[in-house]
Chains A and B, each alone.
Chain A
């Protein structure tokens, strides 16, 4: 039987500011290299809310302010409900850059009105003002969200899941009591440059400021998403064949060395 994977890409033309489509490309290629049939389905202004149900994994990126506004207007109501239902049902998702702000309760931009989020994750984001420097630079963090860390460590043969990426955000994100942090910052700013947390993990959704983009240099994230989605879809244990990830390993090693992380 040929396995099939459907990747839902949230607003590809509106939310893809910092090479975020690299996450979609990497999930797609890594599935195809394992002989899985892949279809990438845009979920955007033209989509019906119900079309989310055919999706196995979800990916969303960042947007410029004007585009983010169009997205939020379009998401309000039925589409936000559909995404929430899908994530609640355990669909794996990767939300990078501005996307985590969208999943939270609200975002207060540096200029202009508060933007209401989808309220899926208990977090809020605030911009401290346009004169306060942005959190920009290479970032390294360890995934510490309990279940995810355990599953990734197993997938990595016992190694700790360390993420190497790049962050560039003006807004600061603060997790509420009902949110679990994705990881702990080793180098960089993370959610708010103060409490050492980075991102959030909800059901099987990964929300992070780390772009770079995230997955090509941290390919185990893609493999975990694919395995998790297919296990649920086909109700059977899926074990992906290993790929040659030496380029990603060397890209990670080069950055870890530069940042003096052992």
Chain B
């Protein structure tokens, strides 16, 4: 015959409970005089709790909403700058001075190609000569430090609408103190538009080793100095030929350098 476990268990537990009253009474502290139930105090505690709850509820709702609004506000200038940059590049008119600068840059490109073609097999003296020549060319092309990207924008008829620079080369005339630092491969170049809006991150590929020894990228210690680069834009989104960009070069485990670059394109006659 089955028994009810719950009843049996309770009965067993309560079987021999000692009388605890003496212990309890010994632990009682004398109470003060009659305490009238303070209804007003009890009622006062309720609104306080409600206030806390409502405050928490408000925070739960307000914080995500504030985060969404913040993200929205941050994204507006970025989107506007991208839209403005595109429309400006399409609609802006060229200036004569900047046009000349771009033409100079094109000349520099041709000269650079010539130097590159003639370089292999040259001795050290010839290398120095070539370096000086390239530096001279570079100085002709270097953009004024105060030049903004918009100012440098040239919509040249001689420059094709296809903005991608085809030669994947990195060229610089070097720093003033003549100390060149050779960039390693697989560096990443972050191209910045005039308003510092990031366009893309593109890998920089180097020239042949012999060519590097002369025209190695002397970015060490150059800070925000002006250099002219030819580099490959493998995934750049609509870089404009003739525009001046800020270029941040960053190695994997070292610092970074901020350079100003001008996109140069080969002239297709």
**A complexed with B:** no
B interface residues with partner A (beta carbon < 8 Å): none
